[in-house]
Amino acid sequence: MSEKPPWFRCNPLKLSVTLSLMSPSDALVYTVLMLRVMEKSGPVTETVRSLHRRTGLSTKQVTAALISLGSEGHVVALGADRFDVPETHAELARQQTPAAQREYFGKLQRDLPAGWAAIKSMVVERDGLVCAYCGDLAGPFEIDHVVPYSRGGENDPSNLCVACKPCNRSKGAKTPEEWLS
């Protein structure tokens, strides 16, 4: 998954309220920095001159906007000419979750994670060779995603259990609650 979700999926209502409370030049500098941070997934290097070029504001206006945005906590200066926009980080983190990735890209490809064999044996060691759903001891067994992988469930032992093949196949992409009801 190399392609990043588009930046404009961040909360548009919150964004428009935030922008409407700013002066036009603050809003312009804020928007440029926010988009750059989104693009880079982290802090960006910009100077007053580069922001002047990007926004069309005078260097004096850019300097004033940076001071005002800094005092409001919208923009954080990390040393000289390096800026971060903390408000973008919640969105960046959200975009990395399986649920958000699925929202953008459709059904996830079921790629087994690195170390899957080790994860699998951890689960078997923890649960024993017994189906978590019906108590079957004969097998064959599979590793079931309690919250289905296709629905954002993680490849983490906390979301995995041992299940017999018939239970696992019958459960499919349902949660245990949906399957048992």
Q: Give yes or no for residue 133 binding Zn ion (CB under 5 A).
A: yes
Site membership for Zn ion, residue 134 (CB under 5 A): yes
Closest distance of CB 108 from Zn ion, Å: 25
Q: For Zn ion, what does the binding mask look like between residues 144 and 173, x meaning CB under 5 A? A: --------------------x--x------
Return d(Cα 143, Cα 35) in angstroms, integer: 41
By CB under 5 A, the residues from 13 to 72 that bind Zn ion are none
Interface with Zn ion, residue 129, by CB under 5 A:
no
Distance of alpha carbon 95 from alpha carbon 100, whole angstroms: 5
Q: How far is the CB of 171 from Zn ion (least distance, A)?
A: 9
Question: In this structure, which long-range contacts are made by residues 26-29, counting pairs with CB atoms below 8 Å and at least 24 apart in sequence?
Answer: 26/65, 26/68, 26/69, 26/74, 28/55, 28/57, 28/65, 29/55, 29/57, 29/62, 29/65, 29/66, 29/69, 29/75
Q: Is 137 in the site for Zn ion (CB under 5 A)?
A: no
Nearer to Zn ion, 114 or 138 (CB): 138
Nearer to Zn ion, 56 or 140 (CB): 140
The rounded distance, in Å, linking the Cα atoms of 101 and 3 is: 10
Binding residues for Zn ion (CB under 5 A): 131, 133-134, 136, 164, 167
